[in-house]
Chains A and B, each alone.
Chain A
């Protein structure tokens, strides 16, 4: 590695201020920092620092996304061969799905990172690691048969208008991956709904609707068995189908403490509460499905584990996290059952609560402020 280090040291001056390739400074810095953790030392404040950094944290999230990704690849093949009435081995299924999903992953990363690098360079910032996660989340919430150009367009939209216009990772209000999905949903509604996109090369005669699609048009009896939905042998977006794979990812996120258990837990509670309320109302067949089944249908589990817990767009206070998560689960199930235009409510619920997260935090913080000022008043300190 010393040779590589020497080489980097040799070419480094060209990228510094005044160098020939000054314009590519951020790009060089990002690549260098990826290969070698910087030699920078502390100057003031705490002389020692935790071994953690954003690269580490983001790589843990990417690692936690591997179970749904790998399962999703297999399932894309599985659904394809079933629909076409063909028998296929585990490897054939996986290989088919791999070839289908990999291009989506590549397009998502290439588009997003190119824009990120461009913005970092223009601002003279370092490239932020946030897109490592977003770039993997986007393919996982895409339908398997999505045209690649749509992936590129929606990723570009999400990175530019969902994130960079606000100042980049850490400043954005909406979850960038869901922004990409929402953009697709509203820009190309015909291609993004119905039963066409969920299975690759689906013959017309085969139904191919997702459980959500079935439930929306009052065909609740067509919903697959809970076990199939839990394990994930159903059509759907690439990474969302298997609750088992998502739970494995959730365990990684929870053990490492990267994602908030408070949010995950309260999303589940919120979904269950809304489900029970519908059970009590029992106005149509959809309302009758057991509350817990909502948790394994559609994107609920995926959203709860990977999307709602995005620390930048979620609430930042501890109390706020409970409220935020609860309302996401609550609204997700409500939108599902009530709204005829959106078969899935999770995306809308999370984006909606992203917008309200700062407001929730505001009231939590105000409570703390009021408590402090009451203490001041008791001591007779005049109100400021």
Chain B
């Protein structure tokens, strides 16, 4: 076996509230599918309020690519089509019926199917959006032959779910999912695992994949980090990527012929009384998880992790790609002479606080920004949490001045906004780096296609 790939740069933020390995089954009343989870999608709704749907019934499609459908994760009634400012379609809420009924897409063995048949089945069932592409993190283009498909079987972000635990007993569905994916590319399927004895046999025993072992702090689990070490993206390259639960969903489609959106979420964060794993469906309302399970006080509910997740309400819905719900305290308080505090209880990447002398201490961080926005001042810090052969500050500045050529030359195709999350976290000048990078990618796409 080849030696594990070591990532040296990065940062593991030590937070309180890791989920204990215990699965609780819940059946929330409502579910939502949120077009805003999908970057670059212009949704057109196919249902109206009051319509009956089954799990797998298409709810909307992408106006720009009409074959890409988005299905209901559950059977029941369309309760509300919720729009935001400028009539932006925010979420379509479905109230679950008494029994879970599925649209039947037919059982099939992906090995016996052609590429076209597999794609057709995945498109019709609305499962296709689980496959995303880099650059840009859009939903993959079915007609494209990606250079390779990458699956990161571990997540290194703060309080991340343990996929080894989540995929337990799912070897068959996982292998079927991989079998289907193998038909979609002439390149390799890379399954990247953590170099750890706890890595599940579900991953290690999978056939038809190239397994690479990784070790290192966050963002080692990010797709870009792994791709950059295995085969960096060049201009014009496209790779596809998925997370393990998404492979399982594909596998189950072929195994049972159903759009089975079963998903296990890690409920984490310092505001949660009993952090644990919850089994439900994609787009589940988090109310049943957090109700009576949250500590007193003003809380921030996040679908995803604290670095890249989306803010949702107490009765909000899990995002399509998220396997984690995090609840942390809001930081809307004033702090007297906060900048002069010796900082025994303040978490920082820098050696400017006493807490640095307690490296194993875990923290409960809130959403306070801890300072005002400033121009770039400090240098040489970003590089310590950014394991790419890219100059991060120069790239950010190239994006800010909207210089497309410079962005390309500085390696924008190799990264995504999430790779800058740690930089945004440690940024002394409190600049919103992830938004800048996302805008840069959007601009790049607009100008080059």
Interface residues of A (CB under 8 A from B): 1, 4-5, 29, 33, 35-57, 59-60, 126, 128-130, 167-171, 255-258, 260, 262, 311-312, 314, 316-318, 321, 361, 365, 368-369, 371-373, 375-376, 379, 381, 384
Contacts and interface: CB of A to CB of B under 8 A. Distances in A.
A57 B234 CA distance: 38
Interface string B229-251: 00010111100000000000000
A51 B370 contact: yes
Given A44-B434, A60-B352, A54 B377 contact: yes
Interface string B299-319: 010100011110100000000
Given A43-B311, A168-B375, 17 more contacts: A29-B372, A42-B369, A44-B435, A48-B425, A50-B370, A51-B370, A52-B349, A56-B352, A126-B373, A169-B374, A170-B374, A311-B378, A317-B391, A321-B380, A361-B394, A368-B410, A368-B411
Contacts of A126: 372-374
Contacts of A56: 339-340, 352, 371
Contact of A53 (B309, B331, B372): B372
Contact of B234 (A5, A170, A381): A381
A128 B365 CA distance: 26
B7 interface: no
Contacts of B405: 384
A56 B352 CA distance: 8
Contacts of B328: 47-48
28 contacts: A35-B337, A36-B336, A41-B300, A42-B369, A44-B435, A45-B434, A46-B421, A50-B370, A51-B343, A51-B353, A52-B348, A53-B339, A53-B428, A54-B428, A56-B339, A57-B378, A59-B340, A60-B352, A170-B377, A255-B351, A256-B351, A311-B380, A316-B393, A368-B391, A368-B411, A372-B410, A379-B234, A384-B408
Contacts of A33: 372
Interface string B312-353: 000000000000001010111111111110010011111111
Given A1-B336, A50-B350, A51-B346, A375 B234 contact: yes
Given A47-B328, A50-B427, A384-B405, A38 B371 contact: yes
B275 to A, nearest CB: 16
B235 A312 contact: no
Interface of B: 13, 158, 232, 234-237, 300, 302, 306-309, 311, 326, 328, 330-340, 343, 346-353, 365-381, 383, 389-391, 393-394, 405, 408-411, 421, 424-430, 432-435
Contacts of B424: 45-46, 49
Contacts of B389: 368, 371
Given A46-B307, A316-B379, A52 B352 contact: yes
A312 B369 CA distance: 23
Given A44-B432, A46-B425, A50-B349, A130 B377 contact: yes
Contacts of B380: 260, 262, 311, 316, 318, 321
Nearest to A263: B380
Contacts of A51: 343, 346-348, 353, 370
A36 B335 contact: yes
A376 B410 CA distance: 12
A39 B369 CA distance: 8
A7 B424 CA distance: 33
A257 B350 contact: yes
- Most chain-A CB neighbours within 10 Å: which of B307, B373, B380, B435? B380
A70 B410 CA distance: 46
A66 B187 CA distance: 61
A36 B350 contact: no
Among all A-B residue pairs, the 5 with the closest Cβ atoms: A53-B371, A170-B375, A37-B338, A51-B346, A55-B339
Given A46-B424, A52-B428, A256-B350, A39 B367 contact: no
Contacts, number: 216
A interface SS class: loop
Nearest to A366: B409
Nearest to A42: B367
Contacts of B378: 57, 258, 311
A45 B426 CA distance: 13
B433 A45 contact: yes
A37 B370 contact: yes
A55 to B, nearest CB: 4
A28 B317 CA distance: 41
A44 B374 CA distance: 17
A53 B375 contact: no
Contact of A38 (B13, B309, B367, B372): B372
- Most chain-A CB neighbours within 10 Å: which of B374, B389, B430? B374
B298 to A, nearest CB: 10
B344 to A, nearest CB: 11
Nearest to A170: B375
Nearest to B382: A316
Contacts of B434: 44-46
Given A39-B333, A41-B332, A314-B379, A59 B339 contact: yes
A317 B392 CA distance: 10
Nearest to A312: B377
Nearest to B405: A384
Contacts of A376: 234-235
Given A47-B367, A54-B371, A257 B351 contact: yes
Contacts of B410: 365, 368-369, 372
A193 to B, nearest CB: 33
B13 to A, nearest CB: 7
Contacts of B379: 260, 311, 314, 316
B391 A41 contact: no
Contacts of B346: 51
Contacts of A257: 350-352, 381
Contacts of B366: 41, 48
A46 B235 CA distance: 28
Contact of A41 (B330, B375, B394): B330
A365 B391 contact: yes
B36 to A, nearest CB: 12
A42 B326 CA distance: 15
B334 A128 contact: no
B382 to A, nearest CB: 10
- Most chain-B CB neighbours within 10 Å: which of A36, A47, A60, A167? A47
Nearest to A361: B394
A369 B409 CA distance: 5
